[in-house]
Structure 1
């Protein structure tokens, strides 16, 4: 799974997106029953964090202090929407610091998070006898 994330990030010239996605994959595969690891939090958290980052970028520009603010706001948005996924805070920071094009960044992020969910589902199905992932969808 991590190899696919790193390869996709390198091929699409988005290497900064690799660390938060790698942290998400590690969280989902090591603790699949946690609320933070469920698809709602994983996919929704990253997407809401990215959107928060784009909003901060549009209003305040690309600055270190704006990136820090985006991280904090992203966490607040995730908490309010019940989609807490702590690695996604880094996604908001990355958006502000790198200023990627939303039309390219958001589909890549969505695809990567869905891939993590599918890989976790396949891994738990292959283990037989353990708890199935996800514990819940919504």
Structure 2
């Protein structure tokens, strides 16, 4: 997916919100601290209890749903509760999988059941209900894989549409019931899971990690005099999740870049390493910031960086010797 994905811009704009507001949509400027296991157990219990209770309260107390014979809860959401309250970091527990999986499962189950209801007699349908259930579950698995919405409990959502008489009677009305149930479950997950944890990890697509390049061993008399052990150990890159750079070039678009020294080795290669005194300090700010323009910035972390190689004869940034403008202002991206 392009760097301009929904998740990228969502993170970008949430960085401008107050921390007390953005946290409820899963945004954190820095990774949340690791919690003790008993804290995780406590919030998992509270989340599952509140989520299942809210769903049953809505469908049992609202006369609108009672009149239409809607069951108090779709049984497959018990398994969903395990994921979205107890395994909140899992890709299968994120909102895209929750909504997409259950809806695809329900839609598949209803469609298959409607087709089998075209059989000449009800008895014939009852004789083949096992086939309708099997097809519903199997096809929903494939459709979820095709749409990257795999959510294991949704297999039961598809199966119930075929084999459970109470749900079969709902027909197409089963689909809005599923959407409402998923919404209620997600609201509780967002409220409970973000008190001392973080949820969701992503909304539509997980971030793509880019491995940090290994700093080259320059060698030779020109570099040996300044590359001591502390310098070599300090050089590292923490690349932005949403940016892919061609070749060996890596640039952290969403963080504070601290360059301690720029070592010129040739016309086409600059290597930034750690030295005793910093020469350059750049703050990667959102586009609205008056001091620096970076269209991909949304959070700041201190890092060291290595560039190898850059463009031949790069244009240097004024007042920042050795720092190539081509690497900072106009990075080469693979996914325009």
- TM-score, with structure 1 as normaliser: 0.87
Tell whether 2:172 aligns with 1:116: no
Note if contact 2:54-2:184 (Cα within 8 Å) is conserved in structure 1.
Answer: no
More strand, by proportion = 2
1:71 to 137, 142, 145: 137
| RMSD, aligned α-carbons | 1.8
Match of 1:37 in 2: 93
Q: 1:116 to 1:4 in 2, by over 3 A?
A: same
1:133 to 199, 207, 221: 199
Equivalences for residues 2-13 of structure 1 within 5 A? 2-11=52-61, 12=65, 13=69
More helix, by proportion = 1
Q: Which runs of 4+ in 1 moved over 6 A?
A: none
Question: Unaligned regions of 5+ residues in structure 1, if any?
Answer: none
Q: Give me the whole-angstrom Cα distance separating, in 2, the residues matched to 1:19 and 1:34.
A: 21
Tell whether 2:171 aligns with 1:101: yes
Q: 1:20 to 1:54 in 2, by over 3 A?
A: same
Over residues 40-66 of structure 1, what are the superposed CA-to-partner deviations in whole Å (9 max), with x where a residue is unaligned?
A: 000110000111111111222351221
- TM-score, with structure 2 as normaliser: 0.38
Offset at 1:10?
Answer: 4.2
Q: How many residues align?
A: 134
Note if contact 2:106-2:161 (Cα within 8 Å) is conserved in structure 1.
Answer: yes
Note if contact 1:32-1:133 (Cα within 8 Å) is conserved in structure 2.
Answer: yes
Offset at 1:22?
Answer: 1.5
Q: Give me the whole-angstrom Cα distance separating, in 1, the residues matched to 2:57 and 2:107.
A: 24
Match of 2:153 in 1: 87
Identify the structure with bigger relative contact order (alpha carbons < 8 Å, sequence gap 6+).
1
Note if contact 2:113-2:162 (Cα within 8 Å) is conserved in structure 1.
Answer: yes
Question: Unaligned regions of 5+ residues in structure 2, if any?
Answer: 1-50, 118-124, 205-336
